[in-house]
Structure 1
Amino acid sequence: MTNTRLGIVLMLCTTFVFAMQDGISQHLAREYNVLMVVMIRYWFFAAFVMTVTARQAGSLRAAARTTQPLLQIGRGVLLSLEICVMVLAFVHLGLVESHAVFACYPLIIAALSGPILGERVGWRRWAAIATGFVGIVVILEPGWGVFDPHALIPFASACMFAVYGLLTRYAARRDAAATSFFYTGVTGGLVMTCIGLWVWEPMTPADWAWMGLLCLTGAGGHFLLIKTYEVAEASAVQPFAYFQLVFGASLGILVFGETLETNVAIGVAIVISAGLFTFWREARARRRAAP
């Protein structure tokens, strides 16, 4: 049975756990190579994914069965590289500004859903997309002093995650969710192992403890997300995913001593408003299309 209230609570818990994961990633990536940090994180995540998908599909062989292997492998590779880019953004910009810029990814999905998925994008959605990118311009402040090119790192991450999301939708037309989840974890784990082993660095016992916590928050966040979509419709809980920005910014300010600039606050408000309008339009369109 659908339980929207429980779904909202679970989504809030999910965003909190993912925000803690981002904070730990920032801490570790300041001390060690980003690729190594993401690689170890993926080892645990791949084990978690194989456990979950084997249970959902009946076996690992059933979970891995697909008629579109290149698409599924490409999705997994893209997500693993996107995580590396985002962790790099945490190191250079901090949690506040990185999350502020990354918040535009639903608008990028909306913009690319036409050429990639063949969905109709009306003028209202285009207006919301344009408004959201005005918010990004406000955050980045191009033309005020010297533009920091590091601000493009989280934007690149948002673009990569948006394409990953669209490819996931496309893959879902022919594959079960368990299959897509399997390739997300296993492919990413293999790719990051091939890359990360070359930059291995010894870690202190204390940082191994942080790494263990990073792995647990990664798996725990995905587990909560799975449970969220089991009890509630995605359209009802998706807007609450923006709370990851709130939790992440709070962590950056309270723990890492970051500041929330006025232009960032205004830009984020514009981006989130445009994103919520886009979610509302998509939910309304789905209700109209439902029999």
Structure 2
Amino acid sequence: MTTQAIPGQNPAKGILFYMTGIFFMATMDVIAKLVAQDVHVAMAVWARYAGQTALVTLIFLPNLRTIARTRYPFLQFLRSAFLLMGTSLFFLSLTKLDLAEATAIMDINPILITLGGALLLGETFGPRRAFGVGAALIGALIIIRPGTDVFSPAAFLPLIAATGYASFVLITRKVGHDEDPRTSLFYAALLGALATTLVVPFFWETPAPFTIFLMLLIGVAGSLGQFFLIRAVQFAEAGAIAPFSYLGLLIAAFWGMVIFGEYPDLATWIGATIIVIAGVYVWHRERVT
């Protein structure tokens, strides 16, 4: 006989969902940077939300009326607004900073998620989580190296974006147990699609055929990433999954080398190693307990 996992009671499963979501979101960021090299970044933001809205609507069309019903209309609006803010500012930062640099600064959001979960949602903040978050932050600081060229005025863009994303995750966690994940997925895209559709005509440039293909991929990657992130916070507290946001930094560093010729130096590799060790340790401990 099989049993269904109770939401919030399977941190290992939540962490796996979260890591999968981070992979798709990091891949989306890479594609957005490529798109922004050919057309205005506003078109990349529009493709991210319009693509997700269209994909989700087509997949869930038979049950769309049911999915569109939400118990938390205001919270759904608020979380969507925070996500739109985070995505727009982070995509803009990709036009001014290297991929790994922007991602490293953005990775302050796990600290905000964990602290917000403890202060606002009453989640526990034990020594294992404190170690994972603290060690991962040290690794990120080694990569960022305060006082260097990374801290240009453009560095504030991913920093503010991190605040928006952390707020989005915390609100998702708040509604996660009572809301259908498909509903959260739908509303996460709808507001962004409506807002960017109104704005994008002012920045429209005729894209090349390959850029059109990349814009379609942005919507697919964003949809998959959002789905897995929403599922993750249904099975694990925000503080448990927070350290694994740093996986995106490793993915960014890899694609930065392969696609953009941005080669991390020794300090970046040292920081990345610390992040991986911290993440694996927290996952192991959460699974054991």
The alignment's TM-score, normalised by the length of structure 1, stands at 0.76
- Contact 2:246–2:275 (CA under 8 A) maintained in structure 1: no
Deviation readout 1:60-92 (Å, 9 max, x if unpaired): 222121232111011112112211122122222
- Contact 2:25–2:222 (CA under 8 A) maintained in structure 1: yes
Give, as a single letter, the amino acid of the residue that structure 1 aligns with 2:183. Answer: T
- Contact 1:39–1:196 (CA under 8 A) maintained in structure 2: yes
Partner of 1:205: 209
Matches within 5 A, 1:64-75: 64-75=68-79
Consecutive unaligned residues of structure 2, counting only runs of 5 or more, are 5-12
User: Aligned to 1:49, which of 43, 51, 56?
Assistant: 56
CA deviation after TM superposition for structure 1 residue 197, in Å: 2.9
Partner of 1:158: 162
Q: Is 1:182 equivalent to 2:189 in the alignment?
A: no
CA deviation after TM superposition for structure 1 residue 18, in Å: 4.2
- Contact 2:55–2:220 (CA under 8 A) maintained in structure 1: no
User: Aligned to 2:257, which of 253, 271, 285?
Assistant: 253
Secondary structure of the residue aligned to 1:83 is helix
Distance 1:187 1:145 in 2: 35
Partner of 1:23: 30
Give, as a single letter, the amino acid of the residue that structure 1 aligns with 2:249. Answer: L
Distance 1:47 1:180 in 2: 15
Secondary structure of the residue aligned to 2:260 is coil
Give, as a single letter, the amino acid of the residue that structure 2 aligns with 1:184. Answer: A
User: Aligned to 2:272, which of 248, 268, 277?
Assistant: 268
Secondary structure of the residue aligned to 1:255 is helix
Deviation readout 1:180-219 (Å, 9 max, x if unpaired): 1121121221122233233222223342233234334444
Q: 1:68 to 1:217 in 2, by over 3 A?
A: closer
Secondary structure of the residue aligned to 1:250 is helix
Q: Is 1:172 equivalent to 2:176 in the alignment?
A: yes
Q: 1:128 to 1:151 in 2, by over 3 A?
A: same
Deviation readout 1:256-290 (Å, 9 max, x if unpaired): 11020222222333344444555556556xx5xxx
Partner of 1:40: 47
Q: Is 1:63 equivalent to 2:67 in the alignment?
A: yes
- Contact 2:105–2:159 (CA under 8 A) maintained in structure 1: yes
Give, as a single letter, the amino acid of the residue that structure 1 aligns with 2:54. Answer: A
Distance 2:156 2:25 in 1: 22
Distance 1:28 1:243 in 2: 23
Partner of 1:116: 120
CA deviation after TM superposition for structure 1 residue 139, in Å: 2.3
Q: 1:275 to 1:103 in 2, by over 3 A?
A: farther
Secondary structure of the residue aligned to 2:261 is coil
Partner of 2:9: none
Bigger Cα displacement from structure 2, 66-75 vs 87-96: 87-96
The alignment's TM-score, normalised by the length of structure 2, stands at 0.77
Give, as a single letter, the amino acid of the residue that structure 2 aligns with 1:37. Answer: A
Distance 2:203 2:76 in 1: 27
Percent of aligned pairs with the same amino acid: 31
Secondary structure of the residue aligned to 2:95 is helix
Distance 2:182 2:171 in 1: 15
Secondary structure of the residue aligned to 1:87 is helix
Give, as a single letter, the amino acid of the residue that structure 2 aligns with 1:26. Answer: K
Partner of 2:197: 193
Q: 1:126 to 1:209 in 2, by over 3 A?
A: closer
